[in-house]
A and B are shown apart, each in its own frame.
Chain A
Amino acid sequence: MRKGILEYCILSIISRGEIYASDIIGELKKARLLVVEGTLYPLLTRLKNNGLLSYVWKESTSGPPRKYYQITPAGLEVLIRLDTTWEELVFAVQTSMEGRDKQTTESSN
């Protein structure tokens, strides 16, 4: 579950534009989806192998050339589908949670 969400988040982050792996980490940390960098690489590789991502090598001013990831059309398609799935999911969760507040207040009363 969490892993699926992680992939969804990564895809969303990359869909904003070309991005470098450690920046992805930064974004994920900001989103409190705290992971270590080591987790990211297998995920990125898997997404890339599924054709959802692609990367380009870019020279860096300091250090080795960096892999910059960008989303592919197929990736975008998946992202859009995931978006709808997510909305459905959010709706489902929200709907099922709606009555809960009342119940808890009732039970607490």
Chain B
Amino acid sequence: MNRTIIININGIVFHIEEDAYEVLRSYMIDVKKHFGHTADSHEIVGDIENRIAEMFNERIVQGKKEVIAMQDVSEVIAQMGRVSDFETGEPEEDSTEAAYDMPPMSGQRKLMRDPDDKVFGGVCSGLGHYFDIEARWIRLILVLLFIFGGTGFLLYIILWIVMPVAKTRADRMAMRGEAPNLQNFKRSFQEEMEGLRTNFTGAEEGLKSGLNSAGNFFVRAFVVLAKVLGVLVIMGMCGGLITLLIAIVASFGFLGSENGMAMFPLNVIEPDFRTPMLVSALFVAIIPFLALVALIIRILFNKSVIGQYTGFTMLVAWLIAVGFTTVYGTRTLNDFREESTVVEERPLEKQEVYHLSKNDLTVIRLQTDSADRISRIRQRAIIRNHNVLEGHSRMHMRIVKVDATQEPSITYEYSAHGATYERAAERAGRIDYQFQQLGGKLIFDSHFNIDGNDLMRHQQLYLKLNMPVGATLIIDRDLQRHIWDLPFNQCEDNYNYPDGDRPDKTEWTMTESGLKCAVIPPPIEEETIDEERTINIDTVQKN
């Protein structure tokens, strides 16, 4: 089966097979080039076309043979004669001869894409022709650029757009810097026929013979080195590929796509989309990998690992996966657009002294008390997500001064993100946090919990402990990392423990100017240091 093209020669319509058309077209281009210099070119070419049309017409038998095939074209061309055969008929005094004697414009190469020697768009081979280097080295450089830095891909796309494709033989010759004269045309055509005959497999032989004739040991050594390097790169990449596969397959099992069990980054994604997102992530990551491996193999060993259709299918699959990831990624991002904070204030029982301690949810305690079951479940959830969520879901607090007349209280500020303000607020409201007051003891959970079905949407919790002036606070050491704006280090120094030991708890008093360390620093040494400091500052200011 063959595709046919409809052509029109001097007003007569022919159906011609695609490959036959290509040959005919290149023949006509040659003819036009040949006569292009003479004044009568138009008429001569017209005559020739006319005659070709007539010969085609003679070959067509209605109802039996209605399509011009390759054989017809080659026979017609044989009868018409090759451009090279026209030479004998050309009058010597003709101005065309002079035109052929023009100095060849060698050296003036044109930067064009080579359609005869291409992997994607023939950019590399075009560059190779331009710089007179073998295309595979350009390809290798570009692939390396792609791997180390990623600029190669962009560069290739830009060059593909900028460089025109060398369609006609004249273009191809200009690309190689050959003069567009008849001899070269002939040679070029013969080369092309040669290429067709050997079905374009001659590249390897071409390289070998080129190397042999050059007899260049270093070049050969370089090729071997490049191949060894290529094999290593391929092996490395295969290793990476396997790792990637394992990672992604494992992520189905361990990260868990079911509700409530998801870990980062899956807990950012809606449950229904987790599996498709994983699959598309698999495609997005692995397809370029495979393509790269295949490309390196092709460049170095001239072996096509992936067929044209497979390659095309892979490209389409990759684009779909990228599209899906992008679309869903934007949707997920969109869900981060609005931020909402829900504030809740609760009174505290008034006490002289408060002891602030932490209920660390990341540590499992032996709890026989069955009434505490819920808190254990919460603990387990926190522990499971510990690695990732530790930083995210940690409670932070601040201790704020209020007037002595006012009652102590605690303010919860829950915040979360969502597509709309309302949804963000709802989500913030679902943050689960436990705080207990047992007389003078204030027990804070170290972390807040997110509803099992809720997605990670930058949930945060700030606590504000509003303390009236005059209250005394004893703060456990392990709570320090949850409290902002308190100089714990200085206060601990005041205890002056030997050997750099630190106290388990620090004592603070709320004053008119804020929370102050209740322990007075050991008198003599500290003061002298302070004085020295102030003196130093003074002198610096004077200068």
- Chain A residues with CB under 8 Å of chain B are 2-3, 6, 21-22, 35-46, 49, 60, 62-64, 66-67
Contact = CB atoms under 8 A, between A and B. Distances in A.
Interface in B27-62: 31, 35, 38, 40, 43-44, 47-48, 50-51, 53-54, 57-58
Contacts of A36: 78-82, 85-86
A41 B48 contact: yes
Which of A21, A42, A46, A67 gathers the greatest number of chain B CB atoms within 10 Å?
Answer: A42
Interface in B418-448: none
A44 B47 CA distance: 10
Contacts of B82: 36, 38
Interface stretch (B87-95, B170-178, B406-414): B87-95
Contact of A42 (B38, B79, B80): B38
B83 interface: yes
A45 B89 contact: no
Which of B47, B57, B90 gathers the greatest number of chain A CB atoms within 10 Å?
Answer: B47
The 10 closest A-B pairs by CB, nearest first: A36-B81, A39-B89, A63-B57, A38-B81, A41-B47, A63-B54, A45-B40, A38-B80, A41-B44, A36-B85
Interface string B9-41: 011100000000000000000010001001010
A39 B40 contact: no
Nearest to B96: A42
Nearest to A2: B88
A42 B89 contact: yes
Contact of A67 (B11, B50, B85): B50
Contacts of A66: 50, 54
A29 B54 CA distance: 20
A44 to B, nearest CB: 7
A62 B57 contact: yes
Given A21-B51, A41-B48, A3 B81 contact: no
Contact of B90 (A21, A37, A42, A60): A42
Interface residues of B, number: 31
B507 to A, nearest CB: 110
13 contacts: A35-B81, A37-B80, A38-B48, A38-B80, A38-B83, A38-B85, A39-B85, A41-B44, A41-B47, A46-B40, A46-B94, A64-B11, A66-B50
A36 B34 CA distance: 15
Nearest to A38: B81
A43 B80 CA distance: 14
B58 A3 contact: no
Where chain A touches its partner, the secondary structure class is helix
A35 B88 contact: yes
B53 A39 contact: no
B79 A37 contact: yes
A40 B12 contact: no
Contacts of A3: 88-92
Given A3-B89, A42-B44, A60 B81 contact: no
A42 B51 contact: no
B86 A64 contact: no
Contacts of A44: 47
Given A36-B78, A42-B86, 4 more contacts: A22-B51, A38-B86, A41-B44, A46-B91
A94 B92 CA distance: 27
Contact of A64 (B48, B54, B79): B54
Contacts of B92: 3
Contacts of B85: 35-36, 38-39
Contact of B47 (A6, A45, A60): A45
B542 to A, nearest CB: 104
B43 A45 contact: yes
Given A63-B58, A64-B53, A39 B86 contact: yes
Nearest to B45: A41
Contacts of A38: 31, 48, 80-83, 85-86, 89
Contacts of A64: 10-12, 50, 53-54, 57
Interface string B260-277: 000000000000000000
A62 B11 CA distance: 13
A38 B80 CA distance: 5
A3 B94 CA distance: 12
Contacts of A22: 51, 54
A97 B50 CA distance: 45
B372 to A, nearest CB: 101
Contacts of B54: 22, 60, 63-64, 66
B158 to A, nearest CB: 43
A35 B10 contact: no
Which of A39, A44, A66, A67 gathers the greatest number of chain B CB atoms within 10 Å?
Answer: A39
A39 B47 CA distance: 11
Given A49-B40, A63-B12, A63-B58, A40 B50 contact: no
A45 B88 contact: no
